[in-house]
Amino acid sequence: MRRKKNRTNRTGRIMPALFLGLALCYMLPLAVRAKEDAAAQIAECSVIMTAAEDLDAKESPDASSETVVSYRKGDSIFVTGELPDGWYRVQYQDTTGYVETAKVAKMNVDVEALDQEFESEQEKGELFVEEVERHRAEAKRSRLWGTVIAVLVAGIFATSIVSACRNRRKGESE
């Protein structure tokens, strides 16, 4: 009889553990699917916006979650995604955070003015390169002419020495 009682005790302990294990196996995929669904709802983007007021980027899209980055009014914010519930996913260096869409303003960028400014700067850069190349060519010509002048002076000096030596020999032979 004693043996039978031990089997009943074992079965009584194993059944709840088995039930708990099966329940966990059933619940775990649901939690993973919930995270995947939340990630699928993010509309990916790459936009620079401006902080409309002092604000904190949160660890998750919840006002009570931990602050990961703080922004001051007017700071530029790199937005990498938009959630449907009024939050932007933002990136600062290696940190990802979430800010409320109401606290962020789109930057007004005059694309035509930027294009004109880029063209102007490109022209200035091209003129600078041309000027540097011109100076290098002038320096090269100057070195060449310096060498030619040095050879001519040496030739004149050598001719003078040779001529003086000949005149001295003529004077001694006469």
The one-letter amino acid at 168: R
The region of weakest confidence among 55-64, 94-103, 142-151, 163-172 is 163-172
CA 104/CA 53 separation, integer angstroms? 8
Over range 39-68, report the average pLDDT. 87
**Is the confidence at residue 35, as pLDDT, over 50?**
no
- List the chain domain ranges: 40-106, 111-174
The 3 state secondary structure assigned to 134-154 is HHHHHHHHHHHHHHHHHHHHH
Quickly name the fold that domain 40-106 has. SH3 type barrels. (2.30.30)
Entry field: residues in the chain: 174
Average pLDDT over residues 16-45: 63
The percent of residues above 70 in pLDDT, for the chain, comes to 78
Contact, 82 vs 43, CB < 8 A? yes
Encode pLDDT of 65-103 as tens digits: 999 999 999 898 999 999 988 899 999 888 999 999 999
